[in-house]
Amino acid sequence: MKNSSQITGLPIISITDGIQVGKVKSLVINPDKGSIDFLTIDNEDWQVSIKAIPFKKVVGIGEYALTVDSENAIIDLNEIPITSQLVNKKIKISNTKVMTRKGELLGEVTEYFVDENSGMILGMELIVNGHQVALSAENVLTYGKDIIIVKEDAGSQFLTSTSELDPERLQPVVVEDEEKGNEPDVSQSTGEDVEILALKEKQIEILKGKKLLKDIYDTNGNLLLQEGAILSTEDIVKVQKQFPSVLVELSMNVQA
Beta bridge partners of 97: 108, 147
Alpha carbon distance 130, 106 (integer Å): 11
SS3 labels along 140-164: EEEECCCEEEECHHHHHCCECCHHH
Residue 171 confidence (pLDDT) above 70: no
- Predicted confidence at residue 151, as pLDDT, reads 93
Q: Tens digits of per-residue pLDDT, 99-108?
A: 999 899 999 9
Q: Tens digits of per-residue pLDDT, 14-35?
A: 999 889 999 999 999 999 999 9
Cβ atoms of 216 and 250 within 8 Å: the answer is: yes
Handedness of CA 16, 21, 24, 26 (dihedral sign): negative
Alpha carbon distance 247, 230 (integer Å): 15
Across the chain, mean pLDDT equals: 82
Q: Tens digits of per-residue pLDDT, 190-239?
A: 444 565 676 678 778 888 899 999 898 886 778 889 999 999 998 888 88
Mean pLDDT of 174-179: 39
Q: Determine the straight-line distance between the first and last CA of the chain, rounded to whole angstroms.
A: 34
Mean pLDDT of 32-55: 82
- Predicted confidence at residue 66, as pLDDT, reads 94
**Which has the higher per-residue pLDDT, 52 or 196?**
52
Cβ atoms of 176 and 185 within 8 Å: the answer is: yes
Residue 243 confidence (pLDDT) above 70: no
Residue 57 confidence (pLDDT) above 80: yes
% pLDDT > 90, the chain: 40
Handedness of CA 41, 43, 45, 48 (dihedral sign): positive
Return the exposure string of 52-90: e unless at least 16 CB atoms fall within 10 Å of the residue's CB, then b. bbbbebbeebeeeebbbeeeebbbebeeeeebbebbeee
CA 219 to chain centre: 23
**pTM given for the model:** 0.64
% pLDDT > 70, the chain: 82
- Predicted confidence at residue 159, as pLDDT, reads 85
- Predicted confidence at residue 245, as pLDDT, reads 64
The CA-based angle 134-137-140, given to 5 degrees, is: 110
Q: Tens digits of per-residue pLDDT, 71-102?
A: 999 988 777 777 777 777 888 999 999 999 98
Residue 128 confidence (pLDDT) above 50: yes
- Among 5, 120, 118, smallest CA distance to 57 is for 118
- Predicted confidence at residue 189, as pLDDT, reads 43
Residue 177's φ and ψ, nearest 5 degrees, are -55, 125
DSSP 166: S
